[in-house]
Amino acid sequence: MSKITKESILNMAQDLDVKFIKLQFTDVFGTTKNVAIPVQQLEKALDGDIMFDGSSIEGFVRIEESDMYLRPDVNTFSLIPWQSEYGNVARLICDVYSPDGKPFEGSPRNILKKVIKEAEEKGFSMNAGPEAEFYLFERDMDDMPTTNSKDHGGYFDLSPVDLGDEVRRAMVTALQSMGFEIEASHHEVGEGQHEIDFKYADALTTADNVVTFKFVVRKIAMQYGLHASFMPKPLFGKAGSGMHTHQSLFKGRNTNAFYDENAKYQLSRTAMHYIGGLLDHARGFTAITNPLINSYKRLVPGYEAPVYIAWSEKNRSPLVRIPARRGLGTRAELRNPDPACNPYLALAVTLRAGLDGIKKRTDPGDPVNLNIYHLTEKQKKDLNIKSLPANLSEALDELEADDVIRSALGPHVYENFMTAKRIEWDDYRTQVHQWEIDQYLSVI
């Protein structure tokens, strides 16, 4: 495979008749930002000479420190697969640098790269595969999103019941044109709920892919007059949307560090300690993997939500499940993340949690192969099965108390994330919601 260089990017842009380039990056909260440049500025961009105002991005820097530089990752060059009347458009995902030439500590992509390097120093590389769910909703006469859907399909249903089938095919085709290897697409449990699965990759590529995936899904939905929502719980009483994330560590390209043919469950000590780290820090990283107030409307005990801090190599009721495949495919499935998370930060904190488990040789305990959803509170207590935080405020308290997860984020991201989320919680808790009016106004 030939190495991608500055010159090869310039040649590809010319061959593809690209007119504009979107230089993409994400803020602390996972929102995709971009600086668009004409193709004539591409060489300058590839040299890392494109600046932007960092003070205009929430969670970045103050106005007196505003100059930031974008350094494109040449491996992320891709043609955007929809027509523009002004010509073809390509994109490059960028790292953010400070004027002193150092990686900006407030850039989520830089945070993930830092933790990846820590893993590499221990001889590991991380592979990850997410399963992001989303809803397709109608738009109203003013083109605003609603929560209405004419789709009455269920899990794995087909057309004509699954009205999103054609839209999913368009999404898959667009993603494939951008280099995704799509493994499956199907209707999910909820009416109007869907899932498109793409092949696992190294952690950085996977985070880039999640950002691209959400960008493409939303755009294609708009072309069909629909709104694609990655909100964790958009509908009361209906299935929430998760982003189960499969994780494994490799030594070299072909040795899965989680697999040991002769060990119990064929899981290596590395795998067991990694699982132990995930469980040990689960409450600490939940604010990152589930960052919205709405996230905790999905993480509710009794609704088959992945809230119980335990693991199993058989069933899906605990937080961590070990799928049946062994050998190169041995992996741990972390089931609580939702698609509203910043994928760079989510992978960074879960990888750091697993590495901490390996460092401390954390014992995950015995697998819980019972259906935890059917256990009584006493049975869960006897088995020492704890739950994830019940709301965002509690999750932020747990993050504050977890030095390992805080250090993975670094002081800049941690402080800006906490400040914004505490404000979000205070704004929510002081509002009077319609439920309260309906419940109390006429009787109190």
Residues forming the active site: 53, 131, 133, 188, 195, 244, 316, 333, 335
Residue 117's SS3 state is: helix
Cβ(269)–Cβ(348) under 8 Å? no
Q: Which tokens sit at 56?
A: 């205009």
How far apart, in whole angstroms, are the C-alpha atoms of residue 26 and residue 41? Answer: 21
In three-state secondary structure terms, 244 is: strand
Backbone angles phi, psi at 159, to 5 degrees: -60, 150
Q: Which two tokens stand for residue 150?
A: 């004419």
- Could you tell me the CA-to-CA distances from 38 to 11, 32, 71, 177 in Å, in that order? 15, 19, 16, 22
N- to C-terminal Cα separation, the chain? 72
- The token duo for 154 is 């269920």
Residue 288 CA to residue 337 CA, distance in Å, equals 8
Distance CA 419, CA 135 (A): 30
DSSP state of 48: T
Q: Would you call 63 helix, strand, or coil by DSSP? A: helix
Is 257 in a helix, a strand, or coil? Answer: coil
Burial call 332-357: b when 16+ CB within 10 Å, e when fewer: bbbbbbbbbbbbbbbbbbbbbbbbbb
d(CA 57, CA 24): 13
Cβ–Cβ < 8 Å for 20, 36: yes
What count of other Cβ atoms lies within 10 Å of the Cβ of residue 317? Answer: 23
Instruction: Name the residue among 444, 308, 441, 319 with its Cα closest to residue 385.
Output: 308
Residue pair 385/368 in contact by the 8 Å Cβ criterion: yes
Classified as helix, coil or strand, 428 is helix
